[in-house]
Structures are given as structure tokens and as C-alpha cells.
Amino acid sequence: MIALTGLAVAPRMAAAQALPGGFVYLRDVDPSIIQDIRYATSNNFVGKPLAGYEAGECVVKREVGLRLKAVQQELAKQKLSLKMFDCYRPARASMDMVRWSRDGRETASQRRYNPSLAKAELFRLGYIAAYSGHSTGAALDLTLVDLVADNSATFDPRKTYADCTAPAGARAPEGSIDMGTGYDCSDVKANTRSSAITAEQRKWRNTLVAAMAKQGFSNYFREWWHFSLPGAGGQAYDFPIKRRN
């Protein structure tokens, strides 16, 4: 387990946007970790950037960042990388999600993320919550990237994609290893131990869970991509994510 000191990030901190005490930009800890912060874009289940996401930057508690660096170092030996989809989430963004789930409207592109459920059910079933551990800086959404694979396919908002449970070639591209569903898929197939995935997809989910567990992270059973670091959370914050200077 990596020694949790502030020394690993101190040399780069002067260049970063001021953050509340204990928070860091992940780029200042390990710039090799790939970032695709989806809630800063329209490529997400709401279909627009969420409140508080003024920049596509991964912000985390310092201890979380250092442990992610340790995970990345181990994965690099296998020519793999972490890819971050979401890190610290302003509390106002969680309320944006709640309002979306209750607005009574649903487009075809939004429906891709919950093909078997009505959006009004997502809050009741625990896929959306008014309070999120992300707002403490200790929860993360992430996946794995095979660094020797062709990851060039990108999301095209003009294209019609299959839903998040479809085969990887039919659903929206994410430039990452096929885990059996897309990111933010509100479906039982996204449960980490789902029996509805292939042996290869299960292998990769297990690889991700094991790599994260080695550094103390716990997986949320409903979502193969969601991890948190017990004891590193605390109060929820609502400061906006701004561009790192």
C-alpha cells in the first residue's frame, strides 16, 4: 500500500486552481490517468453538462488521488490505464439529476441509459440520489483502457446508438475495455456480478475490482464502475469544478 504523504503532489500544486483543503486535481498527482469527465459534457444520461461542472477535471481528496496513482502504477505493468468518468461531484449536480428524473420527459438518447426502467423509477431504485458520496471527494466512476488497443472511436451526438446493454460495437463508444454495458447504465446487467455478461467481460470487471481493492477501494454492487474509499469521505461539498490553471 502506498505511503500516504503530501510529498507526492507538492511540486505541482502551485500551478493548480485553489481548492478546499484536502482536495487536489488528479492531474497533479498522476497525469497518466486518462480523464473523460462525462458530466462536464452533453454525453451523459441527462444530455447536458450538469450544474457545477465548469471544466472536465477530476478533483479528489488527496489520499484518494495517491491511491489511484498506486493503482495506475500496477496497471501500467499490464499495459492498462484507469479512465475517470466522474470524481468529486458538486452537490448541486446531484440535485440536477433528481430534477431530471422527475421532470416527466424522456428522449430516445436518454432512454439508452435505462432501457428497462422508466426514468421516474431511478430515484426509488437507488440509481439516482439527492446525496452522493461523490460530493465528499471520496467516490469515483472509472473503467479500464487497454493501451495497445485501438481506442480512437469517439462519441458522435448526431448518430443513433443502441442502448447501454447492447454489444460494444452497437452502443456509444467509450474508448475503453468492454465491461458488458456502457457507463451509467441503469440496468441489472451493470451489476458488478451480473450473470448476463460474457466470461471475457467478467474477467475485466474482476481485474478492475481487484486492482482497486488492493488500494482499499470498495465497489458498489449495482455499478461495476463505481468505487469509494471508506473513511476518506466526510462532509459533502458544493464548490464548482473549475479549469485547472
Looking at residue 6, what is its pLDDT? Answer: 31
- What mean pLDDT comes out for the span 224-230? 97
- What mean pLDDT comes out for the span 213-224? 97
Confidence of residue 206 (pLDDT cuts 50, 70, 90): very high
Confidence of residue 120 (pLDDT cuts 50, 70, 90): confident
Proportion of the chain above pLDDT 70, given as a percent: 93
CA 98 to chain centre: 18
227-230: long-range contacts (C-beta < 8 A, 24 or more apart)? Answer: 227/139, 227/140, 227/141, 227/142, 228/133, 228/138, 228/139, 228/140, 229/61, 229/63, 229/64, 229/67, 229/138, 229/139
Whose CA is closest to 127, among 239, 52, 234, 226? 226
- What mean pLDDT comes out for the span 200-212? 98
| pLDDT digits 0-9 by tens, 171-186 | 999 999 999 999 999 9
Looking at residue 237, what is its pLDDT? Answer: 96
Residue ranges of domains in the chain? 6-228
Does residue 12 surpass a pLDDT of 80?
no
Looking at residue 15, what is its pLDDT? Answer: 40
127-130: long-range contacts (C-beta < 8 A, 24 or more apart)? Answer: 127/186, 127/222, 128/97, 128/98, 128/101, 129/94, 129/98, 130/94, 130/95, 130/98
Assess contact for 60 and 229: CB atoms under 8 A. Answer: no
| pLDDT digits 0-9 by tens, 43-64 | 999 999 999 999 999 999 999 9
As a whole number of angstroms, the distance between CA 161 and CA 146 comes to 23
Does residue 134 surpass a pLDDT of 60?
yes
Looking at residue 128, what is its pLDDT? Answer: 86
Looking at residue 10, what is its pLDDT? Answer: 35
Proportion of the chain above pLDDT 90, given as a percent: 81
DSSP conformation letters of the chain: -----GGGTGGGGGGSPP--TTEEEHHHH-TTSEE--GGGSS-STTSSPPTTB-S---EEEHHHHHHHHHHHHHHHTTTEEEEEEE-S--HHHHHHHHHHHTSS---HHHHTT-TTS-TTHHHHTTSS-SS-GGGGT-EEEEEEEETTS-------TTS--B-TTS-TTTBPP-SS---SS-TT--SGGGSTT-SSS-HHHHHHHHHHHHHHHTTT-EE-TT-TTEEE-TTS--S-----B----
Output the average pLDDT for the chain. Answer: 91
Radius of gyration of the chain (CA): 17
Range with the lowest mean pLDDT among 9-13, 50-54, 144-148, 173-177? 9-13
Residue type, 108: A
Looking at residue 18, what is its pLDDT? Answer: 82
- What mean pLDDT comes out for the span 226-239? 94
State which fold the 6-228 domain adopts.
Muramoyl-pentapeptide Carboxypeptidase; domain 2 (3.30.1380)
| pLDDT digits 0-9 by tens, 187-196 | 999 999 999 9
